[in-house]
Amino acid sequence: MNLKIDDVRSRFIKHFDGSTGSIYASPGRINLIGEHTDYNDGFVFPGAVQQGMIAEIKPNGTRNVRAYSIDLKDKVEFSLDDEKGPKATWARYIFGVCREMMALGVPVGGFNTAFSGDVPLGAGMSSSAALESVYAFALNDLWGDNKIEKMELARVGQRTEHKYIGVNCGIMDQFASIHGKAGSLMRLDCRSGEFKYYPFDPKGYKLVLVNSCVKHELVGSPYNDRRKSCENVAAKINAKHPEVKSLRDATYEMLDEVRPEVSKEDAMRAHYVIGERERVLTVCDALEKGDYETVGHMMYETHYGLSKEYEVSCEELDFLNDIAKQEGVTGSRIMGGGFGGCTINLVSEELYNNFVKVAVDKFAEKFGKKPVIIDVVIGDGARKLE
Ligand code: GLA
């Protein structure tokens, strides 16, 4: 993590009573493939990154949380017992995590806290999951005797998004932030919660993000509409095939059967999701064989689906994807929820320098600003630093 513990500590000392607390970290994530599949009970393939959130926390013996956002230079105080919670969105993440941990029986007390992050906001790298996860992990350590299992900590973050922020997200981001392991991607079955670590060291290739710097904002966005479309189609299929509980169980034939009963748009969204389920499994097989050409091919297919069927791309991201294709990059696609943020690119080492240069120059020429290049290093999940 580029973030310096010392910076967080010095602000914590300055903004509170001069004493120090415990320091925790939790990362953002990338996702190799498996986009918008988590809330359809499908598979995802994320890994934690080195960028993340660091928080210093010290119990203060009251029922109040006094929180300082170092990056926003904003301080908020709220009571753990106030059902409404604070107004500021950043503080609502912390409030939501506290309330959800309390609902699990963890006797959370008031605390002072300062936090800072180096996950670019709105880049599709899950800065919000990093924030939720650092507090879920810390509260479990400080008040919960670490009795809450890791997957439940991830769900605490997810419920925070649903109930306190209004984004009906899946489990991928919080899962990855909590469970990440340096050097490994994880294949998660979002239905059963089973997952497997895949050491990821593609010899001769690099993973690089190109951040379009178009800020994606999932709050109040069409993200929730996408989820609704999937649920509509799954419900129609379920009426004919009771064994189908979600789109994870559906086939293209089943989709064709219900086409007359669903909107064109919903059918198009579902078509993407059914295809994406297969692509994740194909990528897992290909990775085991070291077949990166197939991995890359699937990434391009995913981009096409996200852009043309799921419609979560934008001009800037499609442009970056086209450049990757022109420059011979092995695989490239939108990463995360979409509507802005980054592309993730699997590029051979010999093409890397040229690709990065061409992507930056051409993008700047067209859109008048430079995209930001982020080399991916797969890092560890939530942990105590000090
Ligand atoms: C966001 C959500 C995740 C997932 C992705 C798309 O990051 O938080 O749950 O749905 O979008 O794959």
> What is the pLDDT averaged over residues 96-109?
98
Q: Is 247 in the pocket of ligand 1 (CB under 6 A)?
A: no
Q: Is 170 in the pocket of ligand 1 (CB under 6 A)?
A: yes
Angstrom CA distances, 241 to 38, 233, 244, 251, 254, stand at 21, 12, 6, 11, 8
Distance 337 CA to ligand 1 centre (A): 5
Render the burial of 311-329: b for 16+ CB within 10 Å, e for the rest: bbbbebbbbbbebbeebeb
Q: 344 phi and psi, to 5 degrees?
A: -110, 135
Entry pTM? 0.97
Distance 245 CA to ligand 1 centre (A): 20
Pocket perturbation via mutation, ligand 1, pick of 30, 32, 33, 38 by most ligand atoms within 8 A of CB: 38
Which of 173, 266, 318, 380 is the catalytic position? 173
Q: Is 52 in the pocket of ligand 1 (CB under 6 A)?
A: no
Nearest to residue 226, comparing CAs of 169, 304, 144?
Answer: 169
For residue 332, the model assigns a pLDDT of: 98
Q: Is residue 140 included in any domain, yes or no?
A: yes
CA distance 38 to 158: 12
Distance 350 CA to ligand 1 centre (A): 32
Domain that holds residue 48: 5-200
For residue 221, the model assigns a pLDDT of: 76
- As a whole-number percent, the residues of the chain with pLDDT over 90 amount to 95
**Average pLDDT along the chain:** 96
Distance 362 CA to ligand 1 centre (A): 29
Whether 282 shows a pLDDT value over 60: the answer reads yes
Q: Is 42 in the pocket of ligand 1 (CB under 6 A)?
A: no
Nearest to residue 151, comparing CAs of 381, 332, 311?
Answer: 381
Q: Is 227 in the pocket of ligand 1 (CB under 6 A)?
A: no
Is 380 in a helix, a strand, or coil? coil
Pocket perturbation via mutation, ligand 1, pick of 126, 172, 227, 317 by most ligand atoms within 8 A of CB: 172
Amino acid code (one letter) for 195:
F
Q: Is 36 in the pocket of ligand 1 (CB under 6 A)?
A: yes
Q: Is 316 in the pocket of ligand 1 (CB under 6 A)?
A: no
| Domain tally, the chain | 1
Distance 38 CA to ligand 1 centre (A): 7
Q: Is residue 318 included in any domain, yes or no?
A: no
For residue 216, the model assigns a pLDDT of: 76
Q: Is residue 302 included in any domain, yes or no?
A: no
Whether 1 shows a pLDDT value over 80: the answer reads no
Closest-lying ligand 1 atom to the alpha carbon of residue 218: 1
Q: Is residue 283 included in any domain, yes or no?
A: no
Cα dihedral 136, 137, 143, 147 sign: positive
* Residues 236-250 pLDDT 10s: 999 999 999 999 999
Is 364 in a helix, a strand, or coil? helix
Q: Is 29 in the pocket of ligand 1 (CB under 6 A)?
A: no
Q: Is 337 in the pocket of ligand 1 (CB under 6 A)?
A: yes
Pocket perturbation via mutation, ligand 1, pick of 169, 218, 276 by most ligand atoms within 8 A of CB: 169
Q: Is residue 383 included in any domain, yes or no?
A: no
Q: Is residue 322 included in any domain, yes or no?
A: no
Closest-lying ligand 1 atom to the alpha carbon of residue 172: 9
For residue 3, the model assigns a pLDDT of: 62
CATH number for the domain harbouring residue 59: 3.30.230.10
Split at pLDDT 50, 70, 90, the class of 2 is low
Closest-lying ligand 1 atom to the alpha carbon of residue 171: 9
Q: Is 173 in the pocket of ligand 1 (CB under 6 A)?
A: yes
Longest dimension (CA), the chain: 66
Whether 70 shows a pLDDT value over 70: the answer reads yes
Is 266 annotated as catalytic? no
Whether 378 shows a pLDDT value over 90: the answer reads yes
Q: Is residue 48 included in any domain, yes or no?
A: yes
Nearest to residue 97, comparing CAs of 48, 58, 148?
Answer: 148
CA distance 332 to 343: 7
Pocket perturbation via mutation, ligand 1, pick of 33, 35, 173 by most ligand atoms within 8 A of CB: 173
Q: Is 169 in the pocket of ligand 1 (CB under 6 A)?
A: yes
Distance 234 CA to ligand 1 centre (A): 19
Split at pLDDT 50, 70, 90, the class of 122 is confident
Q: Is residue 113 included in any domain, yes or no?
A: yes
